[in-house]
Structure 1
Amino acid sequence: MHGVSDRRTIICSIVTSSGPRDTSPPDDAAAPPNPAQRRPVLLDPRALTGCRHRVHLDTAYPEAVADVPEDIGVQQRREAARAFRESMRERLMSGSARTRSWIIIDPTTRASERAGATLRACADGVDRIWGAVLPLEYDTGRRGRAELLVRDRERGGYIPVIVVNHKVTDPGSGAVTSGLDDWAPEVDETRKVRAQQRDQFRLAQIHRMLEHNGHASPAGVGGVIGYGGDCILVHDLSAVLDQYDERFADRIAVARGELATAPSQVGECRSCPWWPDCKASLTESRDVSLVATGSRAEVLRGMGVRTIDALAAWDGPPPEEWPGNGFDDVVVLARAWLSGIPLVRRTAEVTVTRADVEVDVDMESYQEHGAYLWGTLLTENGVTQPYRPFVTWDPLPTVDEARSFAEFWGWLTGTLERTLARGKTFAAYCYSRSAEDKWLLESATRFAGLPGIPAVAEVRAFVDGPHWVDVYQAVSDQFICPNGKGLKKIAPVAGFHWRDSEAGGEASMSWYRDAVGYDGEPDAAQRERLLVYNEDDVQATKVLREWMTDRAAAEVPLASEL
């Protein structure tokens, strides 16, 4: 087993003297030692939209992270995706099994056997092939699979269709969709495309592999069944094939050790097993990506600004190539990082809406299945009542969710109405309202007509009204946050700390599975753990907003002073 020190040595050995980069290496960079050159390199489409440096590390040193536990969030998303794929297989077969020839590739057999079965089904002209696996391409470096191959009855060949557990369309118009039972693409006036490059690149790779084996449809399209599973979104692959080919050529060259890479902080780092070691290297070199992540770091490096020190010393207008706004904030972030300051004020005054009666709210959901817990904390005249949860412990999805939501909504709006009737002011607070808004509106929509469920218009009026306050927005407007703006990053600055050291959104997903008994008997201890975690979240919101009102201006330095 390789420990952290082993991986640290690997990371250090490939950081060049001219500084870390995530895309093209410095001019004087040497290609890193790559054991992968001694064995065939094969890439699946996931490598095309992630970190280039991780592609190199995963390919060259797989044994170094072989025993590192998988990130719990990644694990849960994979399990949810597997369950969704299975449900879609059952749905598709029940709808079209009588009018189409089907074959299900046995998932328990070896990959080579599945690939052989897939090619035989293509040669036989089977209408729909579920669980398709294509032969490994040792010459090109590709590997890939598709949940479904649909025979193109008009042109011949096969159209790849993938099943994903995320949204692929939004309300609107202009998307091209097909029904699930019959392949009949047409413009959809009720949906617009939600851009998902990872899906398009995966379809492009499967299309190239079908071409390689002589089974690609000349239509050059692919399909995605996304969350909700009510249609197939159709992508014109001709629009992305050139970009796909360029990206694949780059990534396979990285994997084969033909192009050098070095660490750089990107969004993927949060769940990457290599991140602790990359972070140590980046911190040692004071790399600019620690305060300007992703493409912003590349813009700065292109201008010769490679370290946080150089960025902190910037004096002048933003660079013309800078993506979007916020360059001044990044300079302040660099100065705060060098000084070890966790928070910086934008404004002389710090304010947040306050009221006679205040309710702090935090919601817990499980993936896209629903919201099982609405936690509340009521404060009036400086006196805070005990934490009050509205919860269902029936495994989601469940109609009992309607009961707990109706009770929460009735209590919240009843408190609001009684407060206003007494001539007093009212405010309800959450931290980062997008999740709460989503489940307020979706709960009203899904459970419309059931006892106590409000009309969607009523919920919309509340979330758009003056009584719903997003503390996250107040933080964003008035502070620059070197360590991030999440509640667990900001509330400790105000003096709040969670009782459970493992508390977090990803961990709570695992606790919830145990609490409701998805994988065994319900665990009462995990239910209590979730209630404590939720209570701490509402307490943290309360402590933070009160600190903003009372002490923040005196305790947090002003940006202009750095």
Structure 2
Amino acid sequence: MILGARDLTGCEHRLALDAAARTAGDGPAETESPDALRRIEAAQAHRAQVLQLLREAQDRLPTTLVDIDPSLPMERRAELTLTACADGADWILSAALPIDRVHGRRGHAEALIRHGQGYVPLIIVNHRVVNPAKADRDPAEPATLRTSPLDRWAPERDPARTNRPNRRDALRLAQLAAMLDGLGYAAAPDRADWVGGVIGVDADCILAVPLGAVMPEYEEALERRRAIAAGTIPTVPRRINECRSCDWWPRCKAELEAGDDVSLVVGGAGTAALAQMGITTVRQLADYRGDPPPEWPGYPSFTDAVVAASCRRAEVPLVRRLDRPTVQRADVEVDVDMESYGERGAYLWGTLLTDNAAPDRPSRYLPFVTWDPLPSSDEGRAFGRFWTWLMDSRRRAHEAGRTFAAYCYSEQAENRWLRASADRFGGIPGVPHRDEVEEFIASDDWVDIYQAVNTNFICPDGKGLKRIAPIAGFDWQDEQASGVASMEWYAAAVGLDGAPLDATQRERLLRYNEDDVQATKVLREWLSSERILRLPTVEDLLGAGTSLPSARPVG
């Protein structure tokens, strides 16, 4: 089996199954999930946009550019790439390298840049590869990160940015560098000096990735993965995050359930720690009452793992950590839910205001939205209107001597776009300074219901809103409602990247967003009700006098 960069990381059992299926000419239907298709399409669109930037940049410079048609068969692209390398082209776009059958590997690069004695591989990815440096960074501290402008390969130390390491990117570049070396086109004779380039979603620089220290890990990974593909290193299924988008999951799930495998309730590091104690099944973990394994990873807590196993056996959806769950309430409550499209921006801020001092006044859903395809300055105007409305609601409540709270579910996403919107759209009416956003996020007026769920409950089937809210009695109107589906609806709603425009999807998105804020409200009110006491406690499930550590959440 010839290995690409994707085969060097991720699930080893998937690789083994893929290799066996190729040999037998059998396997699961090669279909991509909607989430995978969205990621693929977004990555393709991003690569096309960045490649066009690179073309335009080279058109303005006295350099030689070879632009290979990416739709050509890989073998033909490799022939054209080798010809361009032999001719000494400065830039080779959509490059591909011949299959290396001796080492069992293949590779392609969005660009090869002539440098030193050969070429530096450049890849384009649809995630962030750098972050802005922290504001409190000591200016006397020397910068270690090196970046280059998009129009040339000239890496220099960059004190304005910090790295976001990505193992898959590094191993892909390492494979390309090794293959270039085998063809006689390594940029430097000593692999300690090898380097690759990455352009991330911001497309504002080329990150220089040193490869010398990566090469031993790459060679070890390649050797092991080749042995797995050849069947000389056996693998077994284990449930991991990757399973959610894997075609092999139905088969693996059946095997795991048949064996009552403990990975059904515990992550990879926890599974390994339990195996050292001889605990390999859900039943064994559910019955265990001793100390945690010495190598237990720490999160989730060991008690949570034992309770999750007990829940699976008893078919219990949720367990109270505390006798009386609590959640912050206020006189004026606003539920907030943000909708974004990947890294492009946040196009919708949905709100639901509830005045608990006026019970006859119905809660009112109010969206702040732009239907201009992202990225767009109208995104900033929608955010400015949302922020102004939210702060006015807060101010009026406080001036009336009433308490106020705004709620979201899992604040990480909302906080990210609150900060990013303030940074990106300063100067647009209503858009706050970053300091105002930070003050609000840090205040008691911004409440994360996800954290309240984590504090009050152990959730064996996950803590996502769409898993927890149905237990509280809430159902979404749209049976297909999900974050993945909303991406498809948005692309159609705005005709993104040439997609057919379907304006009816706008109402679908608004209905979905309204359901999200309604779900947060229902969940919060359920947490405050007597109905919550119908759920069992940890002691109810495990028995009083358990010797396990505290059931309070970690982190």
The TM-score normalised by the length of structure 2 is 0.90
| Equivalent residue number for residue 80 of structure 1 | 42
| Equivalent residue number for residue 47 of structure 1 | 7
Summarize the Cα distance change of 1:433–1:65 in structure 2 as closer, same or farther, 3 Å threshold: farther
Task: State the distance in 1 between where 2:265 and 2:49 align.
Answer: 42
Does 1:122 find its partner at 2:92?
no
Q: Give the superposition deviation at 1:419.
A: 0.8
Does 1:95 find its partner at 2:57?
yes
Tell me how many residue pairs correspond in the alignment: 520
Task: State the distance in 2 between where 1:366 and 1:64 align.
Answer: 36
Task: State the distance in 1 between where 2:158 and 2:253 align.
Answer: 45
Check conservation: 2:28, 2:248, Cα contact below 8 A.
no
Q: Give the superposition deviation at 1:307.
A: 0.6
Task: State the distance in 2 between where 1:300 and 1:203 align.
Answer: 35
Give the aligned residue type for 2:206: I
Q: Give the superposition deviation at 1:405.
A: 1.5
- SS of residue in 1 equivalent to 2:288: coil
Check conservation: 1:254, 1:261, Cα contact below 8 A.
yes
Q: Give the superposition deviation at 1:540.
A: 0.6
Summarize the Cα distance change of 1:521–1:215 in structure 2 as closer, same or farther, 3 Å threshold: closer
Task: State the distance in 1 between where 2:427 and 2:236 align.
Answer: 56
Check conservation: 1:267, 1:294, Cα contact below 8 A.
no
Summarize the Cα distance change of 1:249–1:462 in structure 2 as closer, same or farther, 3 Å threshold: same
Task: State the distance in 2 between where 1:176 and 1:314 align.
Answer: 51
| Equivalent residue number for residue 328 of structure 1 | 303
With 299-308 and 281-290 compared, the bigger mean Cα shift is at 299-308
Task: State the distance in 2 between where 1:65 and 1:436 align.
Answer: 40
Task: State the distance in 2 between where 1:261 and 1:239 align.
Answer: 28
Check conservation: 2:492, 2:501, Cα contact below 8 A.
yes
- SS of residue in 1 equivalent to 2:364: coil
Aligned ranges 1:217-366 → 2 under 5 Å = 217-218=187-188, 219-325=193-299, 326-366=301-341
Check conservation: 1:333, 1:482, Cα contact below 8 A.
yes
With 93-102 and 357-366 compared, the bigger mean Cα shift is at 93-102
Q: Give the superposition deviation at 1:53.
A: 0.8
Check conservation: 2:29, 2:247, Cα contact below 8 A.
no
Task: State the distance in 2 between where 1:329 and 1:536 align.
Answer: 30
Of 360, 375, 387, the residue aligned with 1:397 is 375
Aligned ranges 1:448-487 → 2 under 5 Å = 448-487=426-465
Task: State the distance in 2 between where 1:511 and 1:59 align.
Answer: 35
- Percent sequence identity is 51
Q: Give the superposition deviation at 1:65.
A: 5.2
Structure 1 segments of 4+ aligned residues over 4 angstroms from their partners: 62-66
Task: State the distance in 2 between where 1:176 and 1:310 align.
Answer: 51
- 1:310-360 CA distances to partner (integer Å, 9 max, x unpaired)? 112223222222223422211121111111111112222211110001011
Give the aligned residue type for 2:383: F
Of 182, 185, 190, the residue aligned with 2:160 is 190
Q: Give the superposition deviation at 1:99.
A: 3.0
Of 406, 413, 425, the residue aligned with 2:384 is 406
- 1:402-424 CA distances to partner (integer Å, 9 max, x unpaired)? 22212211111111111111110
- 1:198-233 CA distances to partner (integer Å, 9 max, x unpaired)? 100111111111122111122311111112111111
- SS of residue in 2 equivalent to 1:360: strand
Task: State the distance in 1 between where 2:197 and 2:290 align.
Answer: 48
| Equivalent residue number for residue 22 of structure 1 | none
| Equivalent residue number for residue 26 of structure 1 | none
Does 1:163 find its partner at 2:133?
no
With 448-457 and 489-498 compared, the bigger mean Cα shift is at 448-457
Check conservation: 1:174, 1:193, Cα contact below 8 A.
no
Check conservation: 2:410, 2:451, Cα contact below 8 A.
yes
| Equivalent residue number for residue 176 of structure 1 | 146
The TM-score normalised by the length of structure 1 is 0.89
Q: Give the superposition deviation at 1:520.
A: 4.8
Where in structure 1 are there 5+ consecutive unaligned residues? 1-40
- SS of residue in 2 equivalent to 1:134: strand
With 250-259 and 200-209 compared, the bigger mean Cα shift is at 250-259
Q: Give the superposition deviation at 1:255.
A: 1.4
Does 1:199 find its partner at 2:169?
yes
Give the aligned residue type for 1:163: I
Q: Give the superposition deviation at 1:142.
A: 0.3
RMSD over equivalenced CA pairs, Å: 1.6
Where in structure 2 are there 5+ consecutive unaligned residues? 134-142, 543-555
Give the aligned residue type for 1:404: A
Give the aligned residue type for 1:81: A
Give the aligned residue type for 2:514: E
Aligned ranges 1:1-12 → 2 under 5 Å = none
Q: Give the superposition deviation at 1:309.
A: 1.2
- 1:509-541 CA distances to partner (integer Å, 9 max, x unpaired)? 001111112345532321111111111110110
